[in-house]
Structure 1
């Protein structure tokens, strides 16, 4: 039974204030990607036995590095890539046991050629351990693994922290007679612990992410991260204004999964509009198209003018076509113009947008109604049509 289920059962039995402590194993997991640009050139210039190292990354209170020998660690591994995990903080944090997995990422960012080391004990200051013959040079297919001649190595580390006890407190709902205190800005824990980018939103909330994922999916993120200040732990502090937490999480979920939110069509139009703006900002064409399609299905009298304004600003041809199809009915156009909000939105559009609605093939009476409504908007516009 889950903790919440246990608490519910206890409250049902008449116990209104309950505290629970849980003893559990407490592994800490994190991931790091080491990207070696111009790998062919690096391999040519690096002798057998010489290594290149990643930046340090933290998992479970310990610092780690990926150690790559482009031409093998020892003479017997020449002609191979050797990969090792190095415990980089032994002098400070002492011995540690870790399970780790290394993979070469292919051009679709999928792990390949994976090797796993179970429960290795790091006990020396310069301790590193791994695979001398991780991959033969002849197996390193340029078309499959070297995107722009860049080799990407993924390392997943799980550190054994032993047994930990956590305290959880629940109070009965009837005891909560006052408003809860405002929550502190928090790190969104659905992303992995080893996040090396911290996104700061305008409302004070923080969301962690991974530099390599953001940079791989969006050149805009790559540019912004390159200019962002970093902490002593090499975490990029990225400021993102004009975006709320739910939209930011949906944006990141798409970046990590390459799938638009499952409930996009059920979401409020304003939320989808904001997500479309975010997708446009970070040049995520697939997400932008999904938002546009979802908005097409939400067009009605109250939203069509806003949708057209969105097309004016962000050039959404599919959305524009759906709006024009909706407004081509004189009944719909009159209904939009009859509402104050709709009329104000229509007045902000270019004249050509409304003139495009006029169809000489429609019945004369409908032509007259359409022209009358367009003239109403025309006369009230302060843009000098």
Structure 2
């Protein structure tokens, strides 16, 4: 617009004029294009556990040897140390010199249990090729091992698996383990299983209470309190 035309127009007032413009932001279109871009790249799940499992199996670069239950195992001290503060102290701390050249002897552990421990250290998972009975037994042993090596996640995994193996034949043994190794969730699962009169009679017939009395008699007091609470709760609802 020419200045002469602007002076003649009604828009110019006291040598001033106002310009108005409307701006539209296509936010919806931008978001839709951004969402569409998200699907263009597919990131596969992490396979780190697979690679570390292959490293354990190949023993390539292994720098520490263990002798357990009559068998020899090769492993990598830095991987073990990263997963367990106990292994860290033994293999990288002041105790390292004693394990630098000699074979590390581990007492009171079966070879199958140590193999399962190594698999968990490298892959963060327990062996899959086990029967239900084998799984129940190995998890009992690994629970003790997890406590020994301060591996909290392994301990919780074993607790969770053992909760699924509670039955009349196993509840006394599992309850004793839970009490001895401070597994509160597993202990509560055992006590809840035992509140049924039919289950109590069956466990008593299988001499399960004798095992508890010999290994950790204090847990019997907890069982009595649990039974009393359940009876009071039932009476309160029926009354």
Counterpart selection for 1:286 from 153, 159, 166: 153
How far did residue 271 of structure 1 move? 1.7
Equivalent runs, 1:1-385 vs 2, <5 Å: 190-201=57-68, 203-225=69-91, 226=93, 227=95, 234-235=100-101, 237-262=103-128, 266=132, 267-340=134-207, 342-348=208-214, 349-350=217-218, 351-358=220-227, 359=230, 360-362=232-234
Residues 265, 223 of structure 1: alpha-carbon distance in 2 compared, 3 angstrom cutoff: farther
How far did residue 216 of structure 1 move? 1.2
The answer as to whether partners of 2:66 and 2:106 remain within 8 angstroms in 1 is yes
The answer as to whether partners of 1:264 and 1:272 remain within 8 angstroms in 2 is no
TM-score, normalised via structure 1 length: 0.42
- Distance in 1 of aligned mates of 2:130 and 2:188: 20
Q: Hey, which of these two has a bigger chunk of helix by percent?
A: 2
2:4 corresponds to: none
Gaps of 5+ in 1: 1-109, 111-188, 365-385
- Distance in 1 of aligned mates of 2:118 and 2:102: 16
Structure 2 SS opposite 1:208: strand
> C-alpha deviations, 1:141-183, integer Å up to 9, x for none?
xxxxxxxxxxxxxxxxxxxxxxxxxxxxxxxxxxxxxxxxxxx
TM-score, normalised via structure 2 length: 0.65
The answer as to whether partners of 2:70 and 2:111 remain within 8 angstroms in 1 is no
- Distance in 2 of aligned mates of 1:191 and 1:347: 47
Aligned length: 173
Structure 2 SS opposite 1:287: helix
The answer as to whether partners of 1:230 and 1:237 remain within 8 angstroms in 2 is no
